[in-house]
Chains A and B, each alone.
Chain A
């Protein structure tokens, strides 16, 4: 039985207009609250990004750096696996400070392209 089927108890003199309207309103509230489903079978995603999600990413980044430093302390003089083999490939390529700035330019260029694509395709 749902509250939609709820019928006010009859009064001796009949319900006054005030009581009648209040009971109808109460029934409406109850109906709304009772019809909210406890779970949905659809994927739901919030529209706005919570500010704390950025903190989580930064926390992850800081943890990564901490572990790298810890590796240097625990295994002094030992090369970093994989990275120590990859980095020498770029010797003589990124040997100027301009590359830090060019990385920013490349990031900016891709952010412009990404903005164009996402804005044009998002609903």
Chain B
């Protein structure tokens, strides 16, 4: 049976139906549905809505701060998981408390908290600000969106607990966490659809990317269950990658494209490329992510089945994954060209997050191509590249999805909260620590994976000592990501209270020897301007001169 095409056909049909309903409404029931939905979002919650602020932008700020704290937690779990891969008994003292830390379990915890806690919450936070702006309206319910962030955080916390201890007191934890996450997602979808219904202008493509990120995730789950593919290994694998292609890829792409234009001050380079990104993302299968769909199996409490696709599934799956190169390259190119020529730089506090967006856009293509090879290998049943699947998955998370979502969130946060980050210097350190730690740490771990694969292939009886050393260096390098996440958290939280107010230029972040403005009275060289103490942020203002002959002033 051709599982992939039949499931995708249902998925596309659901998306088309959703699009038509959003555009056309529910005929005469539209007003009733809107009123009922608003009632469910606010009044039905009773006094709970009074506990949170309904100020515009407050929900976005809350989600982003939660997301950054989860980034710290996720990086810590991943670091410990990487360490335990070469020193399995490092934390054996915890066993006296009944906890048995295991490398694969902690890396799994790191992946699940990074995806749903950090990236998910940052994307939602940035979406809650950027989608209303793209629609020319306000978010339908700020207070509901703020409240839902607590529910989402609770579900991610349960996910972490479930990843370490699947069953507690006879209760399977991960499906409960998934149920809470679905509830929160439903509230968000209703909130965003109500916002879109109040649009006062034509919604640009990044806005549709955000809408399809939320709807596509639900449509993917429904499609897999309607087609009955949830019970097969291919169906579970497909659901894992459809969720990755919709919620994560579309969401990250939508908020990144919005942020890169707003942050750099340049118009989005190509509308057609955004359209390719949008349609390509929902039509193709995104190859990024693990080859093992156990996360889907755990979250939906399914029976784990072996990935045994039919030959038609292999062909269609491989073809659709190869086709995903189009939206990925289109998205990356659009990002990089939009950033061109502006003075958006990591040292410029007016453009926070641009450096992260730049890194994510650069790393997207090589990691997507690597993932394509690994996924095609796994789908074809060859499994020769399975050894690097985990490291490549971590690279996709920490070098593509995390920088893009953190970059978009840092860009949106000052606009949503009205205050800049506390320190541009600490923000810069956080970027270098996070990106350097993830890049070097995971690259060295990938080298160790390749060595492992070579040793396995040569059927060596003893492992290589250099392999353990590489894993040790890789995990220590990855520790930079933990420090970077701590810097981001403290900088953002303090910035919410004491950061420079948006639009206040009285305290520009110049050094003590830098000059704020430079009067240009005649032709000069850039060397002379820089030698006078000017920096990239110094304003050069030309002074007007006239060559006309002067005369006495008439009184």
Residue ranges of A at the interface with B (Cβ–Cβ < 8 Å): 92-98, 101-102, 104-105, 108-109, 111-112, 115-116, 119-120, 122
Contacts and interface: CB of A to CB of B under 8 A. Distances in A.
Nearest to B485: A108
B394 interface: no
Interface of B: 69, 72, 76, 79-80, 83, 87, 89-91, 93, 476, 479, 482-483, 486, 489-490, 493-494, 496-498
28 contacts: A92-B93, A94-B93, A96-B87, A96-B89, A96-B90, A96-B91, A97-B87, A97-B90, A98-B80, A98-B83, A98-B91, A101-B476, A104-B483, A105-B76, A105-B482, A108-B482, A108-B483, A108-B486, A109-B72, A112-B489, A115-B490, A116-B493, A119-B493, A119-B494, A119-B496, A119-B497, A119-B498, A122-B497
Nearest to B488: A112
Nearest to B476: A101
Q: Closest 5 CB pairs between A and B?
A: A108-B486, A96-B90, A119-B497, A93-B93, A98-B90
Nearest to B490: A115
Contacts of A101: 79, 83, 476, 479, 482
A67 B498 CA distance: 41
Nearest to B487: A108
Contacts of B89: 96
Most B Cβ at <10 Å: residue of A93, A101, A111: A101
Given A92-B93, A119-B497, A119-B498, A112 B87 contact: no
Nearest to B491: A115
A69 B89 CA distance: 33
Given A93-B93, A96-B90, A112 B479 contact: no
A94 B482 CA distance: 20
Contacts of B483: 104, 108
A111 B486 contact: yes
Contacts of A96: 87, 89-91
Per DSSP, chain A at the interface is helix
Contacts of A94: 93
Contacts of A98: 80, 83, 87, 90-91
B91 A112 contact: no
Given A98-B91, A101-B83, A105-B482, A112 B497 contact: no
B525 to A, nearest CB: 37
Most B Cβ at <10 Å: residue of A96, A98, A116: A98
A100 B83 CA distance: 12
A97 B90 CA distance: 8
A101 B91 CA distance: 12
Contact of B72 (A95, A97, A112, A122): A112
Given A111-B486, A120-B497, 14 more contacts: A93-B93, A101-B83, A101-B482, A102-B80, A104-B479, A104-B482, A104-B483, A108-B482, A109-B72, A112-B486, A119-B493, A119-B497, A119-B498, A122-B497
Contacts of B482: 101, 104-105, 108
Given A98-B83, A98-B91, A115 B493 contact: yes
A4 to B, nearest CB: 36
A111 B496 CA distance: 16
B89 to A, nearest CB: 8
Nearest to A96: B90
Contacts of B80: 98, 102
A115 B498 CA distance: 12
Contacts of A105: 76, 79, 482
A111 B498 CA distance: 17
Contacts of A120: 497
Contacts of B486: 108, 111-112
A108 B87 contact: no
Nearest to A90: B93
B125 to A, nearest CB: 17
A95 B89 CA distance: 10
A86 B72 CA distance: 32
Given A98-B90, A101-B479, A115 B83 contact: no
Contacts of A92: 93
Contacts of B493: 112, 115-116, 119
A93 B72 CA distance: 25
B472 to A, nearest CB: 9
A96 B88 CA distance: 10
A112 B496 CA distance: 13
Nearest to B79: A101
Given A101-B479, A116-B493, A108 B498 contact: no
B148 to A, nearest CB: 20
A102 B497 CA distance: 29
A94 to B, nearest CB: 8
Nearest to B96: A93
Nearest to B90: A96
Contacts of B72: 108-109, 112
A101 B77 CA distance: 12
Most B Cβ at <10 Å: residue of A93, A94, A115, A122: A115
A115 B495 CA distance: 11
A5 B76 CA distance: 71
A119 B89 CA distance: 39
A109 to B, nearest CB: 7
Contacts of B479: 101, 104
B78 to A, nearest CB: 12
A101 B486 CA distance: 13
Most B Cβ at <10 Å: residue of A94, A102, A104, A105: A105
Given A101-B79, A101-B479, A120-B497, A112 B490 contact: yes
Contacts of B69: 112
Contacts of B476: 101
A117 to B, nearest CB: 10
Contacts of A109: 72
Contacts of A95: 93
